[in-house]
């Protein structure tokens, strides 16, 4: 009786560990989920049973296969234009993954670059960049992104750039802080004393060391970026229809929701949730693994 209870507890502990609720555990489930999403994004053309942008009006609002009225043709149901929800979700993964990762990279490059310059060069360069960062931060990222999208018009390329511009400031601040403390390290001081050019020092000594923080930040930012992209799509400012962005699916789904067509709201949202959840868990784990001192992130 004692044995089975402790066995059950051990199993529960292991599961929680895998799900990364205790930060020591390797995040198996989040990585698996992200893996599945990336797989879906890459192989969407093969995996999706239907064309995500073409629908048959005779098959509108079909519920998922396991509900009454559903059919095997539309495993997860169909939307208001008769398009297959499953296929749209799969292609939507492609959009979320591509836009998410690219935007994070763009923001990362911009933010890390400016952070290194600001932290290392100091002086007026630092002041200028910091003032700009502060002013930039005055505008919440979503508002900023909405504004830019309204000005330049929505397209996949624009969205990536917009999101990158909206979020680089998060990187800049943290990286700058790292660089400031790195500057005090002995091997950097040695390099300066030895006469290495500033560019060399930044490239060979500073950059590799801030890479850790940049990666952790990137994983954490991925979740935020995906949610913002979904919000933009929901408002009609994201990747333009008929491309199946998950946020756009939610907007479309609202019409059907009032009539009780729940799958159009729950399913795309679940996808967003799983992706963001996994990115956050992975980011948390990376943060603890790579550098416990990054706890202030």
Partner 1 sequence: MKRYIVKRVGFAAISLVLLSVTIFLLVRLTGDPTVLLVEPGASQADLEAVRKQFGLDRPLWVQYGHFVSSLVRGDLGHSFYYRTPVLELYLSRLPSSLLLASAAMAFSLLIGIPTGIIAAVRVNQWWDSAGKVFALLGLSLPSFWVGLLLILFFSVYLGWLPSSGSGTAAHLLMPAFALGWYFAAAHMRLTRSSMLDVLGSEYVKLARLKGLPEALVIGKHAFKNALIPVLTLAGINLVIMVNVAVVVETVFAWPGIGRLLYEGIAFRDFPIVQATVILNGAMVVIVSLLVDILYAVIDPRIRLAR
Q: Binding residues for partner 1, per CB under 8 A?
A: 16, 21-22, 131-132, 134-136, 138-140, 142-144, 146-148, 150-152, 223, 227, 230-231, 234-237, 250, 253-254, 257-258, 260, 262, 265-266, 269, 272-273, 276-277, 280-281, 295
CB of 48 to partner 1, least distance (A): 23
3-state secondary structure the chain: CHHHHHHHHHHHHHHHHHCCCCCCCCCHHHHHHHHHHHHHHHCHHHHCCCCCCCCCHHHCCCCCCCCCCCCCCCCCCECCCCCEHHHHHHHHHHHHHHHHHHHHHHHHHHHHHHHHHHHHHCHHHHHHHHHHHHHHHHCCHHHHHHHHHHHHCCCHHHHHHHHHHHHHHHHHHHHHHHHHHHCCCHHHHHHHHCCCCHHHHHHHHHHHHHHHHHHHHHHHHHHHHHHHHHHHHHCCCCCCCCCCCHHHHHHHHHHHHCCCCCHHHHHHHHHHHHHHHHHHHHHHHHHHHHCHHHHHC
Q: Residue length, the chain?
A: 297
C-beta of 106 vs 202, nearer to partner 1: 106
C-beta of 215 vs 235, nearer to partner 1: 235
C-beta of 74 vs 261, nearer to partner 1: 261
Rg (CA), the chain: 23
C-beta of 228 vs 243, nearer to partner 1: 228
CB of 72 to partner 1, least distance (A): 25
CB of 42 to partner 1, least distance (A): 24
CB of 268 to partner 1, least distance (A): 8
CB of 88 to partner 1, least distance (A): 16
CB of 112 to partner 1, least distance (A): 21
C-beta of 23 vs 212, nearer to partner 1: 23
C-beta of 114 vs 182, nearer to partner 1: 114
C-beta of 47 vs 235, nearer to partner 1: 235
CB of 16 to partner 1, least distance (A): 7
């Amino acid at each position: 009786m004692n044995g089975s209870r402790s066995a059950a507890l051990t199993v529960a502990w292991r599961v929680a560990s895998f799900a990364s609720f205790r930060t020591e555990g390797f995040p198996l489930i989040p990585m698996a989920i992200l893996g599945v999403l990336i797989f879906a994004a890459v192989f969407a053309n093969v995996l999706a049973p239907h064309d995500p942008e073409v629908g048959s009006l005779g098959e509108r609002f079909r519920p998922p296969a396991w509900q009454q009225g559903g059919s095997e043709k539309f495993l997860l149901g169909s939307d208001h234009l008769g398009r297959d929800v499953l296929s749209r979700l799969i292609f939507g993964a492609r959009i979320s993954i591509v836009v998410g990762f690219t935007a994070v990279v763009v923001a990362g490059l911009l933010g890390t670059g400016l952070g290194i310059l600001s932290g290392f060069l100091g002086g007026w360069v630092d002041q200028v960049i910091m003032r700009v960062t502060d002013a930039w931060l005055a505008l919440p990222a979503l508002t900023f992104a909405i504004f830019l999208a309204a000005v330049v018009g929505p397209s996949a390329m624009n969205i990536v750039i917009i999101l990158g511009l909206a979020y680089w400031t998060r990187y800049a601040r943290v990286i700058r802080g790292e660089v400031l403390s790195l500057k005090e390290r002995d091997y950097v001081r040695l390099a300066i004393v030895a006469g290495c050019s500033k560019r060399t020092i930044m490239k060979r000594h500073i950059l590799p060391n801030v890479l850790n923080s940049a990666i952790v930040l990137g994983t954490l930012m991925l979740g935020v970026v995906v949610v913002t992209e979904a919000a933009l799509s929901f408002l009609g400012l994201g990747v333009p229809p008929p491309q199946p962005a998950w946020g756009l699916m939610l907007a479309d789904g609202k019409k059907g929701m009032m009539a009780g067509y729940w799958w159009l709201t729950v399913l795309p949202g679940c996808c967003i949730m799983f992706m963001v959840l996994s990115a956050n868990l992975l980011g948390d784990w990376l943060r603890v693994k790579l550098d416990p001192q990054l706890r202030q992130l």
